[in-house]
Homo-oligomer: A and B are copies of this chain.
């Protein structure tokens, strides 16, 4: 996820008050070394262990989890173990992805693997993944295991998406449908689980759980489409990532697959560029970005993103949520899409 130019909705900030004490409590059971690494990664300490208060991320996923519980009429406090577990899985994936992608910066700090080496990042990620299950399985009653199972399945999907994302790089024959299926795993699966996991944990009826899962899935796809737009046309001073980073990595992102899939001169040229293994000049990348834009890649992705945000909103229709909760869930969808509009 890229840093957003828009102001985060109020709910994202309120989440921290409920989430952080429980998250710190979970991390406290890890061995001292892994605890120090995780505390640094979450922005609680410097690398040497000195307390600080750095950016720990926007907490979109745990916010969704707490909102999901409120949407089915439950106290958000009851969903805290689910919010903690979701945040642990998200950060497990960040720790491993940063290493696999060779990214040296996250949240304006050195990434864990760049700070302590690959083994430390692998083990810290592993520890957070195992801990996510432990936290849910300690909740008394049958809903903890149900939530743990939902999260384990979402984790499998998340891993599938990451595997496919890496396999798709530099391959112009990959279709929009294949990239969407990849994004359903890489991005939508955990957002979907995040949206419904609080409701699962408080024992909400299945149709409410399904509605929230559907909302989260569409939110995830809207999110990925926006992320793909930012990865090609985003302003680096706002995204905090290098300009045109997805082009440099030759990612078969959704706008790229769309333009190639539409064929024509632009599609043929983009496919040829994607297949070519040589390094690009900055000038060439600017040219490819303009070509993709002129061929309608950006407009299509923005419009698809808006459509998924609308579908997310529509999924909330059958929920017993109070107006304020509904407004917060809709606000989150707007926030996601609003990053580019």
Write the residues of chain A forming the contact surface with B, with a CB cutoff of 8 angstroms: 29-31, 33-34, 92, 96, 99-100, 118-119, 122-123, 125-127, 129-131, 133-134, 137-138, 142, 144-145, 148-149, 152-153, 155-156, 159-160, 162-164, 166-167, 185
Contacts and interface: CB of A to CB of B under 8 A. Distances in A.
B100 A162 contact: no
Contacts of A145: 137, 144-145, 148
4 closest pairs, A vs B, by CB?
A: A145-B145, A31-B160, A137-B149, A130-B155
Which of A29, A33, A133, A148 has the most C-beta atoms of chain B within 10 angstroms of its own C-beta? A133
Given A33-B163, A100-B118, A133-B148, 20 more contacts: A30-B160, A31-B164, A96-B126, A100-B123, A123-B162, A127-B156, A129-B129, A130-B152, A130-B155, A130-B156, A130-B159, A131-B156, A133-B133, A133-B149, A137-B145, A137-B149, A137-B152, A144-B145, A145-B145, A145-B148
Given A119-B166, A149-B138, A30 B126 contact: no
A290 B102 CA distance: 44
30 contacts: A30-B156, A31-B164, A31-B185, A33-B167, A34-B163, A92-B126, A99-B122, A100-B119, A100-B123, A118-B118, A123-B159, A123-B162, A123-B163, A125-B126, A126-B159, A127-B156, A130-B155, A130-B156, A131-B152, A131-B156, A133-B133, A133-B149, A133-B152, A134-B149, A134-B152, A134-B156, A137-B152, A138-B149, A142-B142, A148-B148
A182 to B, nearest CB: 10
A185 to B, nearest CB: 8
A284 to B, nearest CB: 27
Contacts of A138: 149
A98 to B, nearest CB: 11
A159 B160 CA distance: 23
B149 A34 contact: no
